[in-house]
Every structure is written in structure tokens, then in C-alpha cells.
């Protein structure tokens, strides 16, 4: 039992994101991975429907929340980590390279007062770090490429691989955000595929190619033999060439400038101004060459 965590997935249709609750079946301790805070860019409204259904699941299954984890600073949705910590008091964590992302985006946002030491989280994980969720041993892999700070959580026979590989019919994640690298992404994918063949892989998004139902779980073996970016591109050079050519055609995520200023600050929304309202700030013409 110790090697097989319970995994519950929660798909957010608005952002195509997958949120997870991973639990130790023996102690009932659990962690939330990559929670979504609802945001409507058209009205500016925020909400907690996604985060609350994670808490509802934990209560219904009589689990005890031990960690609130993000795999990376997301560019397409707000993290709900800060909201969940306020509700539960449970510690938050992310990869230690978030500091580099903070420094990069502090300049883009012209935000000199932003603390760029990762102090917005309770713990910063380095490559090879280990911790526990109940009796489950968790190891951390630094998995850069999509972002500088991306990490993978390996929990027993399950690995939460965020935006590295998608489902086999969807290939791999883009690597053209500031600080991204297709070459690093290839190397991160190879490290994930070096895990045991029956390791369950849980991805961070599913864009439902062909209009199929959302899917998020595969195995190392399935990815090796069926991922369309890997079976068609057997070398790093081939993969990088195809990935970079594809990325040059992709518009930026519609929420990237909204989301990063929240997510590099520990998922904290901006502080209210004198009128009690919160305001986002994002730069014009900051991402040179972005596809319209």
C-alpha cells in the first residue's frame, strides 16, 4: 500500500488544468498539487469553486491535508495556494528556482518592492529533496524547460509531471516563455522517462485533441511507445527543432501577464488600494515577438 498513493484528479474546464489530491491510504494524510483559483479576465471576478471542491473532497474522504504544492509558477491560471493556506494553515511549497523566475518577472513588471527570495512560500524544494505525506515518501526532481522553476513530485509509484509531457496524443509542453528552453525540456523528459516503466504519470493540462474527453493519467511505458513528440523525434536535436518551430506559431496564454504577477508572489492577490479594490498591473509590449 505504501507505494500506491490514492490520486484524485479535478479538471478545470476554463483553463484545461488538472488539480490533484494525493493521499496516503494508511494515515489518510494528503497533499494538494497545482490548485486553481478561479478568475474571469472579462469581468475581473475571482472565485474559489475549484479550490473549495478540493477541500470538499478532503472532508468527504476523511483525509488530513499536510501540504499545498505547486509544480511551477503557472502562466495560464492563478494558483489557489494562498487561499488554501488561509483556510487550512497548511504549509505551501514550490521549487527553489522560483527565485530566478521572480527576478526575471520583477524586471518585466517593474516591481522593485517584490521580495525575490522565495519567502512567500513555507518551503522551497531543491532537486533530490525528499519529504513525506504520511507514510508516503516523496522525492523532488528539478524539471526545467517549460519554466526555469518547474519540478516533478514523485510520490510512490506516481509522478506529477506538470507541463513537461501531456497525454501521448498531445505531445509535450511549450518552452518559449521567458526562461524556457526546449533543450532543457528534452532533458527533463528523459529524466522522467527513466523512472520505472509502470510509474503513473499525471500531467498538468489536457487540451482534449479532437474534442475527446479530458485525460490526465498515463505511464512511463505508454509515453515511451506512444507520445507523438517522442516517437517522431528520437534525438534531442530533432525534438528541439520541432518544439521551437511549433512554439513560434503559438500565441501567449491569455492570462500570462495576469497570472504571473500573482503566482510569483506566492499566489497572493494584490493588496487592496485605498478604495478597498485590488488591481492587477501588466506591461504593454513586454513580450517581444509574441504571436497575436
Q: What is residue 40's DSSP assignment? A: E
Q: Is 108 exposed, middle or buried (0-12, 13-18, 19+ CB in 10 A)?
A: middle
Kindly report whether the global pTM for this prediction surpasses the value 0.95. yes
pLDDT of residue 16: 97
Q: What is the pLDDT of residue 2?
A: 55
pLDDT given at position 288: 87
What is the CATH architecture of 6-263?
4-Layer Sandwich (3.60)
- For the residues 44-66, what does the mean pLDDT come to? 98
Q: How many Å apart are CA 126 and CA 144, to the nearest integer?
A: 12
Which whole number is the average pLDDT over 159-186?
96
Q: What is the mean pLDDT of residues 75-99?
A: 98
Stretch 284-288: mean pLDDT, rounded? 91
What are the residues whose beta carbons fall under 8 Å from the beta carbon of 274, sequence distance 6 or more?
Answer: none
- Residue ranges of the alpha helices (H) in the chain? 49-60, 81-88, 98-109, 182-193, 220-226, 228-231, 236-247, 256-263
Residue 240 CB neighbours (<10 A)? 18
Q: Which has the minimum average pLDDT: 91-95, 144-148, 286-290?
A: 286-290
Residue 189: the pLDDT is 98
Hey, what's the cell of 286? 513586454
Looking at residue 1, its pLDDT comes to 41
> How distant, in Å, are the alpha carbons of 116, 173, 186, 211 from that of 113?
9, 32, 35, 44
Q: What is the mean pLDDT of residues 170-184?
A: 96
CA distance 185 to 143: 7
Whose grid coordinates read 528520437?
A: 234
Helix and strand numbers (H, E) in the chain are: 8, 15
Share of residues in the chain with pLDDT > 70 (%):
99
Average pLDDT over residues 44-54: 98
What's the Cα-to-Cα distance from 84 to each of 2, 42, 77, 176, rounded to whole Å?
26, 24, 15, 30
Q: What share of the chain is helix, strand, coil (3-state, %, to 5)?
A: 25, 25, 50
pLDDT at residue 110, rounded to an integer: 96
Give the chain's end-to-end CA distance (angstroms, integer).
Answer: 49
- Residue 3 pLDDT: 74
How long is the chain? 292
- Whether the pLDDT of residue 61 is over 90: the answer is yes
Amino acid at each position: 500500500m505504501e507505494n500506491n498513493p490514492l490520486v484524485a484528479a479535478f479538471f478545470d474546464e476554463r483553463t484545461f488544468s488538472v488539480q490533484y489530491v494525493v493521499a496516503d491510504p494508511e494515515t489518510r494524510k494528503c497533499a494538494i498539487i497545482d490548485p486553481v483559483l478561479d478568475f474571469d479576465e472579462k469581468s475581473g471576478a475571482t472565485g474559489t469553486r475549484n479550490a473549495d471542491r478540493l477541500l470538499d473532497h478532503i472532508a468527504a474522504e476523511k483525509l488530513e491535508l499536510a501540504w499545498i504544492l505547486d509544480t511551477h509558477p503557472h502562466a495560464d491560471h492563478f494558483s489557489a495556494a494562498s487561499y488554501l493556506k488561509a483556510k487550512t494553515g497548511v504549509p505551501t511549497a514550490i521549487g527553489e528556482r522560483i527565485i530566478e523566475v521572480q527576478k526575471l518577472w520583477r524586471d518585466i513588471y517593474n516591481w522593485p518592492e517584490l521580495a525575490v527570495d522565495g519567502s512567500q512560500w513555507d518551503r522551497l524544494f531543491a532537486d533530490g529533496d525528499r519529504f513525506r505525506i504520511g507514510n508516503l515518501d516523496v522525492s523532488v526532481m528539478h524539471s526545467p524547460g517549460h519554466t526555469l522553476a518547474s519540478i516533478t513530485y514523485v510520490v510512490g509509484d506516481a509522478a506529477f509531471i506538470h507541463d513537461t509531457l501531456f497525454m501521448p496524443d498531445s505531445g509535450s509542453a511549450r518552452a518559449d516563455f521567458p526562461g524556457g528552453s526546449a533543450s532543457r525540456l528534452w532533458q527533463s523528459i528523459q529524466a522522467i522517462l527513466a523512472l520505472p516503466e509502470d510509474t503513473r504519470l499525471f500531467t498538468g493540462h489536457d487540451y482534449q485533441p479532437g474534442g475527446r474527453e479530458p485525460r490526465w493519467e498515463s505511464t512511463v511505458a505508454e509515453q515511451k511507445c506512444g507520445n507523438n513528440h517522442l516517437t517522431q523525434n528520437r534525438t534531442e536535436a530533432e525534438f528541439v527543432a520541432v518544439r521551437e518551430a511549433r512554439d513560434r506559431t503559438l500565441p501567449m496564454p491569455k492570462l500570462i501577464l495576469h497570472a504571473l504577477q500573482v503566482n510569483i508572489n506566492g499566489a497572493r492577490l494584490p493588496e487592496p488600494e485605498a478604495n478597498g479594490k485590488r488591481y492587477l498591473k501588466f506591461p504593454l509590449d513586454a513580450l517581444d515577438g509574441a504571436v497575436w
